[in-house]
Amino acid sequence: MNNITIPKFLRSDLSIFLGFFISGVAIFLLFNWFQSAPKSVSGDYRQFFPHEQSRIIAYTKESCPYCVLLKDYFNKNNIAYVERDIEKDSDAEAEYQQLGGYGTPLVLFRDNLIVGFRRELIAAEIAKHIPHDDTENSAMQAPL
């Protein structure tokens, strides 16, 4: 009978291999979990815009640091938007889940949603949806 004690096993090559293998699998799964949310999803999201003048909806959480950055970005650039806090508003939470619930902030346009605070994608969508020569809505123009 082979007498392998636990301390001897822990020093063996097999235990070192298993440790690296399990660590590698864990890192792989974590990386894929964080990468699973898409950057943006094209679609018809008009049903989420009850008011014709609304052009941007931001689904946020008070505890989300990227939501704070997004709101600061919108406010500093005078970009009008509707904020829906998914922690405080159950209807907003239901809409957020219907949209996939990928993460916050979730920025919704009538034909595209953007997951996270992706400044370049958001600026491109704003430029696409808000005409630069619209003097009545100059506060909603995309930042240059």
CA dihedral (87, 47, 49, 138) positive or negative: positive
- pLDDT of 86 above 90: yes
CA–CA gap between residue 47 and residue 25 (Å, rounded):
41
Mean pLDDT (whole number) for 13-18: 72
Q: Which structure tokens are listed for 51?
A: 């008011």
Q: Which of residues 114 and 8 earns the better pLDDT score? A: 114
What's the whole-number average pLDDT of the chain?
Answer: 81
Q: Is the pTM of this model over 0.85?
A: no
Stretch 52-79: mean pLDDT: 93
According to the model, what pLDDT value does residue 67 have?
Answer: 96
- CB-based contacts of 129, cutoff 8 Å, min separation 6: 55, 56, 109, 110
pLDDT value of residue 8: 62
Residue 88 has pLDDT above 80, yes or no: yes
